[in-house]
Amino acid sequence: MNDFTGAGAEMPNIAMETPEGGSVKPSDFAGKKLVIFFYPKDNTPGCTTEAKDFSELKSEFEAAGCALLGVSKCSPKKHLNFIAKHDLTTPLATDSEEGGLSDALGIWTEKQMYGKTYMGMVRSTYLVGVDGKIAQVWNKVKVKGHAAEVLEAVRAL
């Protein structure tokens, strides 16, 4: 993780593509808290559970003055399928550009599995305060109970 992407740093304001073909960036949520959760891939077990957990708690996040945004490198078309297949209510965005938000945060990185090296997303969550500064970061997230833990942090902010 880069030093400038920890708690207290300004959230980089880099645009991402929405499934509907528009764009979204962190500053679009100015004046409210924002949780951005980065996940590796649509329709995989852990990512599905995480997106469903955040979707189930969406109204509680909203009641706490917080917006949600799920981000991966998957295409907008894949996001539309993922949303429909699992009845997700949490908005998703595609961070496919080189030099995108996940690159700026240092969470699009080299990974290894079964002796093969590849580029992948480190499952991470960022809580951004109403001031646009990163209030808390969760790296290498374990999915079980994570959305509820993040909701508690949002309420405490």
Q: Report the chain's C-alpha Rg in angstroms.
A: 14
- Residue 28 is classified by DSSP as G
**Counting every residue, how long is the chain?**
157
Residues annotated as catalytic (active site), given as ranges: 47
Query: Phi/psi zone of residue 132: left (φ > 0), alpha (ψ -120 to 50 degrees), beta?
Result: left
* Stretches in the chain below the pLDDT threshold 50: 1-4
pLDDT (0 to 100) of residue 144? 95
Report the CATH fold assignment for 3-156: Glutaredoxin (3.40.30)
Residue entry with tokens 């992948």:
120
- Tens-digit pLDDT profile for residues 85-112: 999 999 999 998 888 999 999 999 888 8
Helices 45-56, 146-156: inter-axial angle, 10-degree rounding: 40
pLDDT (0 to 100) of residue 5? 63
pLDDT (0 to 100) of residue 1? 40
Q: pTM of the entire structure?
A: 0.93
pLDDT (0 to 100) of residue 3? 43
Q: Which two tokens stand for residue 66?
A: 């917080």
For 8-142, where are the E strands, in sequence order? 16-17, 23-24, 33-38, 66-72, 92-94, 108-113, 116-121, 124-128, 134-138
First-to-last alpha carbon distance for the chain, in angstroms, is: 23
